[in-house]
């Protein structure tokens, strides 16, 4: 089956000698039944013409941001919504900088910034431009914004130099797009549950026991699952985070509420328990505010262990159960103990004594401990990138 047939792809062509390769990309995509619309930047028009693009794509070329004809037919918002996917090829250092810093001074950058679709970029530039620190910083920003990078390759440059910065060949770019849509189709049959954030265990109507979890890692995992095609439910404790409308968000407050929500969402193929569920709750929470006194004794009792319950339940247990462990010492020892005691498949552990990672940080460094396998470390990087790597491993495991 031709996975690209009738897919709608918006191709943005930027300036640079590699722009000529965009014509071959159009030819290959049309051969596979893709419906193509094209935006040609001002600098891109110095290398390829609207006529050559139209001849191959069989559709008009969009160029001007403020065009009465374009706005009447399809404004920049509608154009971004029309596509199943956006491909910027070639993308220059200048356009990379604009997208990374939120600038939108032409139709191409405006559409990209207004888009809610997956955006692939295929860089093409001189090796020194590619290796410049500002370019690297901008690329890292775009990765955090969920842009997907294709290339660049190492090879001879049009300027006569040799190194990294050469645009990937059209065949490779088209293969990347095919793989993206294949993964969406394959993973769409999988249902995933993610728990995230802290829980609040009330002592009285205004006081509660909680922890420092921000929920950021769990939210990023849910986002990564969604963009890879999973039917995703996020069960979240109290946070200030926002999530995609396409994710089924269930907000809870206490451990008991999170437990019941988890049970209601089963069966599932994957369950990722990243929430920092309170271990204890007040044995008897006061129905009225407790007045300040010199001494106050609080009797606690254990909350239900959600990970342990689900992982050891014969009929409810998902195919893949992943737990989290936030430790301050003996990370490997405690993670392996939790892996065995809870009977889960993976434990993802991090050292929260490091102030640069973990709670309330946008960055993390984790180790994944596998049942009956060696562990592996995902080094310090944004939580969004950690999530992408974890989800890629989930996909490989399921398929």
Helix (H) or strand (E) holding 253: none
Residues 6+ apart with CB under 8 A from 252: 199, 235, 236, 237, 258, 261
d(CA 74, CA 72): 6
| E strands in the chain | 8-13, 35-40, 61-62, 85-91, 118-123, 148-149, 153-156, 162-166, 191-196, 201-202, 208-209, 231-236, 248-251, 270-273, 280-282, 300-302, 320-327, 346-351, 363-370, 376-382
Number of H helices, E strands in the chain: 14, 20
Residues annotated as catalytic are: 159
| Token pair 């600038």 in the structure block, residue | 103
Question: Using CA atoms, how far apart are residues 313 and 241, in angstroms rounded to an integer?
Answer: 31
**In the 8-state DSSP scheme, what is residue 284?**
S
136 Cβ neighbours under 8 A, 6+ residues apart: none
Burial-class residue 100 by CB neighbours within 10 Å (0-12, 13-18, 19+): buried
Q: Cβ of 97: how many Cβ atoms within 10 Å? A: 16
Q: What token pair was written down for 88?
A: 């910027």
Using only the alpha carbons of the chain, give its radius of gyration: 25
CB of 122 within 8 A of CB of 89? yes
> In which residue are the tokens 């995902």 written?
378
DSSP-based three-state secondary structure for 165: strand
């Amino acid at each position: 089956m031709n996975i690209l047939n009738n897919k709608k792809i918006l191709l943005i062509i930027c300036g640079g000698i590699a722009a000529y390769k965009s014509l071959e990309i159009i030819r290959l995509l049309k051969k596979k039944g893709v419906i193509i619309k094209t935006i040609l930047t001002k600098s891109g028009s110095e290398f390829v013409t609207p006529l050559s693009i139209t001849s191959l794509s069989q559709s008009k070329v969009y160029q001007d941001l403020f065009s009465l004809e374009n706005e009447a037919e399809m404004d920049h918002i509608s154009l971004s919504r029309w596509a199943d996917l956006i491909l910027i090829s070639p993308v220059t250092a200048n356009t990379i900088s604009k997208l990374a810093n939120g600038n939108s001074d032409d139709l191409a950058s405006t559409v990209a910034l207004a888009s809610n679709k997956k955006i692939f970029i295929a860089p093409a530039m001189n090796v020194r431009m590619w290796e410049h620190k500002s370019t690297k910083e901008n690329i890292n920003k775009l990765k955090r914004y969920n842009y997907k990078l294709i290339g660049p390759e190492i090879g001879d440059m049009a300027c006569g130099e040799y190194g990294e910065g050469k645009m990937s060949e059209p065949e490779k770019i088209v293969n990347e797009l095919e793989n993206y849509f294949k993964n969406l189709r394959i993973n769409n049959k999988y249902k995933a549950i993610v728990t995230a954030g802290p829980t609040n265990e009330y002592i009285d109507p205004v006081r509660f026991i909680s922890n420092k979890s921000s929920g950021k890692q769990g939210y990023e995992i849910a986002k990564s699952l969604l963009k890879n095609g999973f039917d995703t439910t996020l069960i979240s404790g109290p946070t200030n985070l926002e999530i995609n409308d396409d994710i089924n968000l269930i907000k809870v407050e206490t451990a008991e509420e999170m437990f019941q929500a988890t049970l209601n969402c089963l069966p599932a193929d994957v369950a990722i328990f990243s929430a920092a569920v309170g271990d204890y709750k007040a044995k008897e929470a006061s129905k009225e505010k407790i007045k300040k006194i010199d001494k106050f004794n609080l009797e606690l009792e254990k909350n239900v262990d959600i990970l342990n319950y689900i992982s050891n339940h014969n009929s409810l247990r998902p195919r893949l159960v992943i737990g989290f462990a936030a430790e301050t010492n003996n990370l490997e020892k405690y993670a392996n103990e939790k892996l065995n005691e809870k009977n889960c498949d993976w434990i993802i552990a991090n050292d929260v004594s490091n102030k640069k990672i973990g709670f309330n940080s946008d960055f993390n460094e984790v180790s994944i401990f596998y049942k009956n396998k060696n562990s592996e470390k995902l080094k310090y990087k944004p939580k969004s990138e950690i999530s992408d790597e974890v989800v890629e491993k989930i996909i490989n495991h399921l398929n």
